[in-house]
Structures are given as C-alpha cells and as structure tokens.
Amino acid sequence: MGILRAIVCILLPPLAVVDKGCGSFLIVLVLTLCAWLPGVIAALIICTRVEE
C-alpha cells in the first residue's frame, strides 16, 4: 500500500476500496456513513490485506 492510498483511506474510505470489489465497497460505505472512524479502519484493513 502506497502513501497515496493511505491518504485516500483516511480522507475518503469508500473511494479507496472501489477496486477491491462491491462487497468491500458497500461495507466501508455503510461504516463510513455510521461513523467516519470505523470506515477508515475497515478501509485500512482491506487495503493492507494480502491477496493470495
């Protein structure tokens, strides 16, 4: 994960996970709408997860 993606995860969490799939996007969107911090945490976890 690059520094630009980390900044996007903090500022606009749903935008950072758009390329990870529809499910991830919807989860982060709902969490961000409920409260900003859970959305940021979820976006950071999803973006740093290693794909096998």
What are the sequence ranges of the domains in the chain? 3-48
The answer to whether the beta carbons of residues 1 and 47 sit under 8 Å apart is yes
Average pLDDT for 26-49: 94
As a whole number, mean pLDDT of residues 4-8 equals 92
What pLDDT is attached to residue 50?
A: 75
Looking at residues 21-39, what average pLDDT do you find? Answer: 94
Provide the whole-model pTM: 0.87
Distance set, CA 52 to CA 28, 30, 31, 36, 49 (Å): 22, 26, 26, 29, 10
Q: Would you say residue 52 has pLDDT above 70?
A: no
